[in-house]
Structure formats: C-alpha cells, structure tokens
Amino acid sequence: MSSQPANANRQILLAERPSGEPRESSFRLAEGPVPDPGEDEVLVRSLFLSVDPYMRGRMRDVKSYAPPIQLDEVMVGGVVGEVVRSNQSGLETGDIVLGMLGWQDYAVAKPGQLHKLDPRIQPISLALGVLGMPGLTAYFGLLDIGQPKDGETVVVSAASGAVGAVVGQIAKIKGCRVVGTAGSDAKVEYIMNELGFDAGINYKTAGNLGAALDAACPAGIDVYFDNVGGPLTDAVIARINERARLIICGQISQYNAEKPEMGPRNLFHFIRARARMEGFLIFDHAARYAEGQAALGQWIVDGKIKYREDVMDGLENAPKAFIRMLRGENFGKQLVHVADPSA
Ligand code: NAP
Ligand code: FER
C-alpha cells in the first residue's frame, strides 16, 4: 500500500502544456511543508483522488468554464480526504470530506469548499464516482436532456466508463433498449452481461460502425448520450429517429487533438428527424445534486446500479492513472488511492 509522509506534502504539478497525448514528463512531483490551516480553515489529508477527462482541457491555455491550470501549479481534481485539523465549526478531526483539493497529500480548505460525507455511505470513493460528478452527469444529462421514454432506443458511448455505465443502467430502469459502445471485448461483455445492456459494440473492431449500429438498433435511435464524438457520432446521427435527443456530454476522441477534426457534415438528419442536440455541463445542475444523489444511492441499494472502480495506488502514480484513462486502459471509474483513513 502507498505511504504518505506525515510531515511533508507531495504535490503533482503541471510541468508543460502537452501537445497531443500527455506524458509522464508533462507532470512534476514536488515536495513541500504540510500547510497550516488559518482562521476558519481546515487541513485535509487526501485518501482518494479522481482523475477525469476534463483535466486534459484544463491543461490547455484556453478559456473555458474555469481558468486553465498554470505551469507549476498543482493539478486540479476532486479529492475524498480526512480532516486532520479544523478551525471551522461543523467539521472535526476524522470527518471524511469531498473537495476540489488537487493532486497532493494535504490541502487547506476555506469555508464552503468542503462537503462532509455521510460515513455510512461506503465505499467513500463513491463520492467521486456514481454519487459524484460522473454519476450526476449521467443522471441529469440523460433524464433532463435525453428524456428517455419506455421502449425507446438509447445509445451511449464510452459505455463501460464512469459516466457511460450509469447512463446505460438508468436508461434500463426507464424501460429503454440500451446499446453501448466501448473499446474492448471485455468492456462489451461487461456492459451486456453484468449491467444488462441489450447490445454492445466494440467500436475498435466493428469495422463498419453504421452496419453495427443498424444491427444493434433495429428501430433506429431515439436518444444518443455522446461521450466521445468523432466517427461514431457521425454514424449515430445518420440513424436518429424523429424527435431524437442528442446529449453532447463529452468528446474524448478529440481531447488530445492539436487541430479540431472536421465537424459533422450530416446535419441534414436533424431536419429530417426534427431532432435536438444539446451541450451539457454538470455544474449547471448544482442546485439539484442532492436529488440526483438520493436517486442514485437508492438504485445502488436496490441493486439496479452496479459500478466498477479501477484504482491505482500512490499519489505519485496519478499521472500514470490519468494517461491510462485517456488511452481507454481504465475499466470503470479511474481513481488513485493515496492513503487509508486513520480510524
Ligand atoms: P471514462 O469513460 O471512465 O474513461 C474515459 C474513456 O473514454 C476511456 O476508458 C475510453 O473507453 C474512452 N475513450 C478514450 N479515447 C477514446 C476515443 N478516441 N474514442 C472513443 N472513446 C475513447 O471517463 P468518464 O469520466 O466517464 O467521462 C466520459 C465522458 O464524459 C468524457 O468525454 C468526459 O469529458 C465527459 N464528461 C462530461 C461532463 C460534463 O459536464 N459535460 C462531466 C463528466 C464527464 P473505451 O475503451 O470505451 O474507448
Ligand atoms: C468534461 C468535458 C468538458 C467536463 C467539463 C467540460 C466537468 C467543459 C468544458 C468547457 O467548459 O470548456 O468532462 O467535465
């Protein structure tokens, strides 16, 4: 298991803005003193870090929903940690918390930056997966924008991943025919045999994606939850039904691209089908996170939503975990285990 120093703070910094795929040398491990919490502040020790696709965007020097990470700054990211010292009422030593604390052993949080987790909800890493940003993305993206109806066909890409696996299972709960695409036979078997999807396509080996979609979606496509973009999305667009809804959640096939690929040219299908495509950003739904977490939590308890985590050990391995996730080598929600709770 990983060791975490008691009197030093290891941090993973952005060392360069990568062109194309990030490399291990795009990051740098630095060590400094454990920070001191000031008035109303809290010192948190990291237990699990999340690595997510959006971090690739934050490494670029472009305007987005949030400012870019600067060179030599700590990598951003969601963390589940343990309160070590608290100068804030309502938080005590030993509390398990969630915050955007970054890739480091220790962080000081200001008021309003932490959410105290219910210790009865286990494993605590769920706060970075099904009950966290990815699960909430699936919940609000599919239900609010996709509005799936009983009997409709829902296609989801990156279907075995943190977001996609939840999308497909919610669509099953809503009575849909669910088709997932993923990058290996093992992932396709998992979504069909373990998660109950009706069909799966290995987009890397399928050859003709259109023919594969035709076979998997004999009644056409009513809802597409797009996590990847690129040629798969083009092939889906050619098969949308009247009044189809397309949720543009992610475009991971484009995240390492230096120049954007040519956009979809087959938008005529939107006229034919009077369809809608809508971009989605989870932070727009912050006021309703509790509703999403309650529903997702109940579905886990009822056995209707299963999940899979892919955990790499050691803070120093966060860059490796991030790189492998972008390459599709993760199988389930990619996490980094930093340390165990002290109690
Ligand atoms: P994930 O699916 O657990 O992991 C990423 C997966 O993307 C990889 O395992 C890989 O799976 C797939 N992938 C990588 N390169 C690809 C390519 N060139 N073509 C097709 N698939 C590729 O990650 P996640 O956290 O659940 O995120 C999924 C998507 O949701 C991402 O696009 C992310 O940006 C998006 N997202 C958006 C929001 C929002 O608010 N808009 C919030 C959260 C996540 P395969 O083996 O199947 O290729
Ligand atoms: C993501 C992909 C893109 C994501 C957010 C974005 C939170 C937003 C990008 C932007 O505003 O430029 O996975 O997750």
* Ligand 1 center from residue 34 Cα (angstroms): 34
Q: Distance between CA 30 and CA 241 in Å, rounded?
A: 53
Pick the ligand that lies closest to the CA of residue 66. 2
Does the beta carbon of 93 lie inside 6 Å of ligand 2?
A: no
Specify whether the CB–CB gap between 281 and 249 falls below 8 A. no
Q: Report how far ligand 2's centroid is from the alpha carbon of 111 (Å).
A: 25
For a substitution probing ligand 1, which of 54, 125, 163, 184 has the most ligand atoms within 8 Å of its CB? 163
Distance 322 CA to ligand 1 centre (A): 12
- The answer to whether the peptide bond before residue 260 is cis (omega within 30 degrees of 0) is no
Tell me, in angstroms, the distance from the centre of ligand 2 to residue 215's CA.
Answer: 32
Output the pLDDT for position 264: 86
Residue nearest (by alpha carbon) to ligand 1 atom 9? 328
For residue 313, the model assigns a pLDDT of: 98
Distance of CA 31 from the midpoint of ligand 1 (Å):
31
Ligand 2 touching residue 64 (CB < 6 A)? yes
Nearest CA to ligand 1 atom 3: 161
3-state helix/strand/coil string of the chain: CCCCCCCCEEEEEECCCCCCCCCHHHEEEEEECCCCCCCCCEEEEEEEEECCCHHHHHCCCCCCCCCCCCCCCECCCCEEEEEEEECCCCCCCCCEEEECCCCECEEEECCCCEEECCCCCCCHHHHHCCCCHHHHHHHHHHHHHHCCCCCCEEEECCCCCHHHHHHHHHHHHCCCEEEEEECCHHHHHHHHHHCCCCEEEECCCCCCHHHHHHHHCCCCEEEEEECCCCHHHHHHHCCEEEEEEEEECCCHHHCCCCCCCCCCCCCHHHHHHCCEEEECCHHHHHHHHHHHHHHHHHHHHCCCCCCCEEEEECHHHHHHHHHHHHCCCCCCEEEEECCCCCC
Domains and CATH numbers, the chain: 9-129+308-337 (3.90.180.10), 133-283 (3.40.50.720)
Torsional class of 24: left (φ above 0), alpha (ψ -120 to 50), beta (otherwise): alpha
**Residues near ligand 1 with C-beta < 6 Å?**
52-54, 133-134, 137, 158, 160-164, 182-184, 187, 227-228, 249-250, 252-253, 280-282, 325, 328, 330, 333
Indicate which residue's Cα is closest to atom 34 of ligand 1. 250
Q: Cβ distance 238 to 209 under 8 Å?
A: no
* Residue at 159: amino acid letter: A
d(CA 152, CA 184): 26
Amino acid letter, 195 = L
Atom of ligand 2 nearest to the CA of 283: 7
Nearest CA to ligand 1 atom 17: 253
Query: From CA 92, how far away is CA 68, in angstroms rounded?
Result: 32
Ligand 2 mutation target, pool 227, 249, 281, 282, most atoms within 8 A of CB: 281
Confirm whether pTM is higher than 0.95: yes
* Spans of the chain below 50 pLDDT: 1
Question: For position 63, what pLDDT does the model report?
Answer: 86
Q: What Cα–Cα distance (Å) separates residue 205 from each residue in 167, 217, 254, 283?
A: 23, 18, 19, 35
